[in-house]
Amino acid sequence: MEDERSKTKEKTSAMNVYNKNSLRWLWSFTEGKRGIYLLSVILALLGVISMLLTYVCLASLIRELISGNREMAFYEVRGLQIGILWILRYAFHGFSTYTSHNATFGLIGSARKLLLKKLNSMPLGAVQSRSSGEYKNIICDRVDQIEPTLAHVTPEFTANIVGAIAMFIYMMSIDWRVGLWQLICIPAGFIAFAIMMASTPKYYPVTIEKTRALNAVAVEYIGGIEVIKAFGQSGTSYGKFVKAAKEGADCFIEWMRKENFWQNFGMACFPATMLGLLPSGVIYCLNGSMSFANLIVLIILSLGTVTPLVTVFAYTDDISKVGEIVSDIADIMDEKDLIRPDGIKNTPADHRIVLKDVHFTYKDKEVLHGINMEIEDGTVNALVGPSGSGKSTIARLIASLWDVDSGEIIIGGVNIKDMPLEEYNRHVAYVSQENYLFDQTVMDNIRMGRDGATDDEVIEAAKKCGCHDFIMTLENGYQTVCGGSGGHLSGGERQRISIARAMLKDAPIVILDEATSYTDPESEAVIQAALSRLTAGKTLIVIAHRLSTIADADKIFLINDGCIEAYGTQNELMTSSPLYKSMWESHITARKEEA
Amino acid sequence: MLRTIKKFFDFCGDRERKQFFLSIFLSVFNAFFVAMRIPAIYVVLKAILEDSLSVNTAYTAVVIIIASIILQTLITMQISMLQTRAGYNTSSLKRMEIAEHLRYVPMGYFNSEGLGKVTSIATNTMESLSGMASRCVMMISKGMITTLVIVFSMFLFDPRIATVALITMVIYLIVTEFMIRMESADADRFTAAQDSMVARILEYVRGIAEIRNFNLFGKSITDVDDSIDSFARFSTGMETTYEIVMFFLNILNKIAGVVMTVMSITFYLNGSMGLVNSVMMIICSFMIFESLDQVGAFNGLTRAIENCVDKANEALSFPTMKIEGKEITPDNMTLVMKNVDFSYGEKKIINDISFEINEKTQTAFVGPSGGGKTTLTQLLARFWDVDKGSVSLGGTDVRDYSYDSLMKNFAFVFQNVYLFNDTIENNIRFGKPDASREEVVEAAKKACCHDFIMELPEGYDTVIGDGGASLSGGERQRISIARAIMKDAPIIILDEATANVDPENEEKLIEAVAALTREKTIIMIAHRLKTVRNADQILVIDKGQIAEQGTHEQLMQKEGIYKSFIAERSKAATWKIRKDPA
């Protein structure tokens, strides 16, 4: 990985493999709609052919005009033909585009649904390794970018290439020598583009790097504006920003300066078919091997090939970007699923939890090295340990946020991998600091805990969690819409609503993952009371930031460096574990300062 | 369309606008150089028809085409350069303007959502501005002007045909304008459908943990499919409308071409036009509207251009405050708030509050969340300007200080710690840019950071953030305290948040705070009982007013908010989770 980053060459080759995978994904994804795309290509082709035929008609019209045909009726017919062909051309084109768009928008919709469904089957931990902003970017914005490729490029690129070739063959059949002569500029154009492309590996990475640097500086400047101003550094930081912004623009200008000549020379060369055609045609006419009429026809037909060629060039850029666009989507689709059966095999006999030799690797690093734990039904169990010790990882594995690499997690005699996720979720409630409230009424948000719960049951749960009073002071009481992320409710209020939701679910196993550290210290006591009610009589696994909170637990597991260092009650650990003792003493000193 | 283009050019800097205009001017010339293949054809045709074809004809044609290639290359080089410069510099200058503007925006104005938006404008929006938007404006302007010039030069050949061309162009532009109007009505509904889909998808993604926890997948409450389908329908609808209009626009051009062809032939047959001219007119009528087609093709993007410009202007329209005051060094650090009112939007947050904070005393703000504690501390350090009343430091109104000279007196420990994507050393040094390495280490030691920093792979040179070391919440908090220690300001404003602190770090955090606050004026939003108890003055803030004021002992005498607050806190601090809660 590190080496890849340092060497651009290897990076681009790695990217190609990447793109190939994503193109394969795109290909398999279009299955079922390929017929429609074929139809769209055929329609586009008919459109291009109609267009080329207008040039054929035009050529014949001019030939007649020159050869002295003075019959107006003939020209009127030709004019009518040309008009009809143009209408056909745009009608075919329109239908082709409509067909491909209809299919593409459908596909984009299914891509979105697929991605969302995927998020529901991936390990939750893997889902959460990306931010919601990234998902929004991929599912909403990125996916839309498939549109030009599928809807425009597929039919038009194909049709125009085929059209240009057809026209070329037709011209060759009229006079193959002139047909070839008209291509005389193409090699020059290719050489120009090749030279231009040769400078790309030198300049392109610079622009990427400078743009990234600029974005990073912008993110820091804007994100850190509060700190910057508070420390009176706005002048210096602004200077940095200005420098980055300048460099971000200069690198593109510099690149353009370097390839400017070749790019524009190439662009001027490609359509210059007349350079070979006119003189060769004149010479052949002079030596009598070609008729004047044919020369005029060829000139006009040649004008007709320019448009398809220009269209093709306009789309090459889009094609080269597809791989990059799709790779983000393919990345998510390639994520491993949480493997769970569909049907219920065994139901847990009780709520005893056993971990057997559990190993778990996160981001290429093994973070749990063989964890064995036994948690008895209906007991209070605490996981403690230094930050980074793995205590949260254990809780999250039990909560099925991830799958273990090896070893087993068994609930009531059943391996959790043998339980459908839905069944599993009936047994376990996982409560963390993150409390998402949906953009629904308070009533509906709490009701999510149990489908079909009555209003009274919801209110009952709210009362138990100390929510009822503040809910009643809201504008519309229980019918108040929470708004994205909880709207105008305070952190503590949101937390209590989410506890009420868990309360309604009434799962026999409750996992509190740092649920006791508060964003809203003013409501700490109320939240604690709510948690007490939620956990009463349950099999409880708790990670708490204050050791005193869990001092009464039936079993405390001390996790250190991915292993269980010791376990037992508070008293047992105080004598058996020096690490626990020192943690406790440190905590108590802090508490004394406070008390 | 014209309005959008005008808007874009108004938005550009003077130099860039001139570059854009020059590039459009040159593009028109270029259109003629591209069209030089027509004179070359003309030479050959003329020779054929006048029966004077010779090798010289071939030479002339070759010379014209080669001249066309060379001239095109030279002129498009200029055009590309001008457009690249103008495009990238426009966005670069706008970025700077936004950054400059942010310096004057009241600090309190920033919240994470707003900052995210500005960041996106300064990065994504500006990127599309430098690329897509400026290219699109160029194509439209160029297409219109080129067609106009061609049509007018046709008047020199044949006014009758030129009139047809002119009429066509006018109709084309009117239809285009009409189409944009029609689309914008469509586009509003389209945008609404899109917003609703994005909102639902975001909600799904943010609530994914709950959706799984409570088996909500596929339930109507989390159903996103409807909004995805309806967005797809709107997209198809938009596209269909666009295709239909484009169909008619294209047909309009081509039929006009056919009419011009038939006219040319008629004029030739009735003798009012020569054969050569007639043939050339026919060929021209096939190509005359090529530039105009580009106007149609790119006008679909005008909304996107407007969008870019509007967004950038939005970032530049944030309210500002005057920050250029005098360089003042206060004689003493007494802070006085006098009859202060402050509203955020419609909502009154602070209602006629007055108090005084003496040098080297400890003041604690206590009260329910949403009561106005945070806003008060922000007003003291002029994160906002007060609506009414005044805040003064050392007897001088804070608005008379230059912002930097005012800020010299304050150090903050925020609840949300922002560290830069830089080395730890530079992050700490941020508090005092000319500090030596020794001073940095000294501050780190005081803030209990030194030990964990030394354990990092590159010690003080370790880069924090993306691709660098990830620190725990407690560690980040202590680095921010080291940074504040480095600054050594006489007044410390502190939000005493204990969230995110690991148990083994709690003690160190308290020690770090103690090191920072030694011998200073301390203003804090207090949560700890000890700090409240030791405060020289406690202000209980509720509903934007001072509900109670005094020392711990004084306030404990009253049956008020403070007393119940203390009771709740003591209860919370000793809470234990039990099998059978009482």
Q: What pLDDT digit, counting tens, does each position of A395-408 carry?
A: 989 988 888 999 99
ipTM score above 0.90: no
Interface test with B, best of A55, A105, A124, A419 (most B CBs within 10 A): A105
Amino acid at A499: I
Of A72, A232, A594, the CB nearest to B407: A232
**Which residues of chain B make contact with A422, given a CB cutoff of 8 A?**
215
CB contact under 8 Å between B72 and A264, yes or no, is yes
CB contact under 8 Å between B48 and A519, yes or no, is no
Of B48, B504, B576, the CB nearest to A586: B504
What is the pLDDT confidence band of residue A136, given thresholds at 50, 70 and 90? confident
Separation in Å, CA of A448 to nearest CA in chain B = 7
| Residue A164 and residue A128 share a domain | yes
Predicted pLDDT of residue B389: 94
Amino acid at A51: M
Closest Cα in chain A to B108: A226
**Which residues of chain B make contact with A279, given a CB cutoff of 8 A?**
58-59, 61-62
Q: How does pLDDT run across B530-541, given as a tens digit for each residue?
A: 778 888 999 999
Quote the mean pLDDT of chain A: 84
What's the N-to-C CA distance of chain A in angstroms? 51
Closest Cα in chain B to A71: B269
**Which residues of chain B make contact with A551, given a CB cutoff of 8 A?**
576
Of A116, A522, A542, the CB nearest to B577: A542
Cα separation, A440 vs B207, whole angstroms: 12
Cα separation, B279 vs B170, whole angstroms: 25
CB contact under 8 Å between A303 and B287, yes or no, is yes
Predicted pLDDT of residue A4: 30
pLDDT exceeds cutoff 60 at A486: no
Q: How does pLDDT run across B357-368, given as a tens digit for each residue?
A: 999 999 999 888
Predicted pLDDT of residue A15: 41
Mean per-residue pLDDT, A167-176: 91
Separation in Å, CA of A45 to nearest CA in chain B = 17
| Residue A326 and residue A422 share a domain | no
Predicted pLDDT of residue B501: 55
Cα separation, A279 vs B61, whole angstroms: 7
Predicted pLDDT of residue A1: 30
Predicted pLDDT of residue A23: 73
CB contact under 8 Å between A102 and B236, yes or no, is yes
What is the pLDDT confidence band of residue B502, given thresholds at 50, 70 and 90? low
**Which residues of chain A make contact with B507, given a CB cutoff of 8 A?**
586-587, 589-590, 593
Of A109 and A29, more confident: A109
- Which residues 509-538 of B are in CB contact (within 8 Å) with A? 510, 527-530
Of A256, A292, A512, the CB nearest to B81: A256
CB contact under 8 Å between A388 and B472, yes or no, is yes
Closest Cα in chain B to A432: B209
Of A132, A185, A261, the CB nearest to B73: A261
Q: How does pLDDT run across B12-56, given as a tens digit for each residue?
A: 889 999 999 999 889 888 888 887 888 888 888 888 888 888 899
Alpha-carbon dihedral sign for residues A32, A34, A38, A39: positive
C-alpha torsion B79→B82→B88→B94, nearest 10: -130
- Which residues 8-67 of A are in CB contact (within 8 Å) with B? 54-55, 58, 61-62, 65-66
CB contact under 8 Å between A593 and B530, yes or no, is yes
Residue A58 in any domain: the answer is: yes
* CATH number 1.10.10.10 is the correct assignment for the domain at B2-315: no
Closest Cα in chain A to B260: A79
Interface check for A314 against chain B (CB to CB < 8 A): the answer is no
**Which residues of chain A make contact with B262, given a CB cutoff of 8 A?**
75-76, 79
Predicted pLDDT of residue A320: 67
Quote the mean pLDDT of chain B: 85
Cα separation, B508 vs B516, whole angstroms: 12
What is the pLDDT confidence band of residue A576, given thresholds at 50, 70 and 90? very high
Mean per-residue pLDDT, B543-550: 92
Cα separation, B355 vs B364, whole angstroms: 12
Predicted pLDDT of residue A12: 36
Cα separation, B287 vs B282, whole angstroms: 9
pLDDT exceeds cutoff 90 at A455: yes
pTM for the model? 0.78
* CATH, residue A554: 3.40.50.300
**Which residues of chain A make contact with B403, given a CB cutoff of 8 A?**
229, 232, 234
Last residue of a domain, one of A288, A310, A337: A337
Cα separation, B247 vs B40, whole angstroms: 32
Q: How does pLDDT run across B44-103, given as a tens digit for each residue?
A: 888 888 888 889 999 999 999 999 999 999 999 999 899 889 989 999 999 999 988 888
The architecture in CATH of the region B335-573 reads 3-Layer(aba) Sandwich (3.40)
Interface test with B, best of A96, A116, A342 (most B CBs within 10 A): A116
| Residue A106 and residue A24 share a domain | yes
Residue A540 in any domain: the answer is: yes
Amino acid at B6: K
Closest Cα in chain B to A293: B48
Range in B215-224, B424-433, B453-462 with the lowest mean pLDDT: B215-224
Of B217, B243, B412, the CB nearest to A120: B217
Q: How does pLDDT run across A491-519, given as a tens digit for each residue?
A: 778 888 889 999 999 999 999 887 666 55
pLDDT exceeds cutoff 70 at A593: no
**Which residues of chain B make contact with A501, given a CB cutoff of 8 A?**
210, 214
pLDDT exceeds cutoff 90 at B506: no
Predicted pLDDT of residue B499: 44
Q: Any bridge partners for residue A511, and if so which? A: A430, A541
| Residue A82 and residue A155 share a domain | yes
Residue A17 in any domain: the answer is: yes
* CATH, residue A148: 1.20.1560.10
Separation in Å, CA of B423 to nearest CA in chain A = 14
Interface test with A, best of B194, B203, B577, B580 (most A CBs within 10 A): B577
What is the pLDDT confidence band of residue B113, given thresholds at 50, 70 and 90? low
Predicted pLDDT of residue A14: 37
CB contact under 8 Å between B228 and A593, yes or no, is no
Backbone φ, ψ for residue B353 (5° rounding): -105, 135
Alpha-carbon dihedral sign for residues B514, B519, B524, B530: positive
Interface test with B, best of A545, A558, A560, A583 (most B CBs within 10 A): A545
Burial of B447 per CB tally in 10 Å (0-12, 13-18, 19+): buried
Q: How does pLDDT run across A15-28, given as a tens digit for each residue?
A: 444 456 677 788 88
Predicted pLDDT of residue A487: 54
Task: Please state the domain count of chain A.
Answer: 2
How far, CA to CA in Å, does B295 sit from each of B20, B130, B246?
17, 19, 11
Of A523 and B155, more confident: B155
Of B58, B69, B265, the CB nearest to A65: B265
Q: How does pLDDT run across A322-345, given as a tens digit for each residue?
A: 777 788 888 888 888 888 888 877
**Which residues of chain B make contact with A491, given a CB cutoff of 8 A?**
369
Percent of chain B with pLDDT over 70: 95
- Which residues 212-251 of B are in CB contact (within 8 Å) with A? 212-217, 219, 221-222, 224-225, 228-229, 231-233, 235-236, 239-240, 243-244, 246-247, 250-251
The helix (run of H) or strand (run of E) holding residue A208 is: helix A185-223
Cα separation, A494 vs A488, whole angstroms: 9
Domain boundaries, chain B: 2-315, 335-573
Interface check for B62 against chain A (CB to CB < 8 A): the answer is yes
Query: How many residue pairs from chains A and B have C-beta atoms closer than 8 A?
Result: 446
Cα separation, B281 vs A550, whole angstroms: 93
Expressed in percent and rounded to 5, the helix, strand and coil fractions of chain A are 70, 10, 20
CB contact under 8 Å between A485 and B206, yes or no, is yes
Tokens of B343: 């509203």
Which of B229, B223, B230, B232 lies closest to B201, judged by CA? B223
Give the Cα-Cα-Cα angle B195, B196, B198 (nearest 5 degrees): 65
Of B241 and A14, more confident: B241
pLDDT exceeds cutoff 90 at A81: yes
Range of the domain at A50: 1-174+320-337
Of B466 and A199, more confident: A199
- Which residues 305-344 of B are in CB contact (within 8 Å) with A? none
Contact call for residues A59 and A301 (beta carbons, < 8 A): yes
Interface check for A465 against chain B (CB to CB < 8 A): the answer is no
Interface check for A552 against chain B (CB to CB < 8 A): the answer is yes
Q: Kindly report the number of other CB atoms within 10 A of residue A380's CB atom.
A: 24
pLDDT exceeds cutoff 90 at B491: yes
pLDDT exceeds cutoff 50 at A266: yes
Could you tell me if residue B348 is left (phi over 0), alpha (psi between -120 and 50 degrees) or otherwise beta?
beta
CB contact under 8 Å between B575 and A58, yes or no, is no
Mean per-residue pLDDT, A260-276: 87
**Which residues of chain A make contact with B68, given a CB cutoff of 8 A?**
268, 272
Interface check for A419 against chain B (CB to CB < 8 A): the answer is no
Separation in Å, CA of B3 to nearest CA in chain A = 27
Of B76, B205, B501, the CB nearest to A119: B205
**Which residues of chain B make contact with A425, given a CB cutoff of 8 A?**
212-215
Residue A315 in any domain: the answer is: no
What is the pLDDT confidence band of residue B582, given thresholds at 50, 70 and 90? low
Predicted pLDDT of residue A162: 87
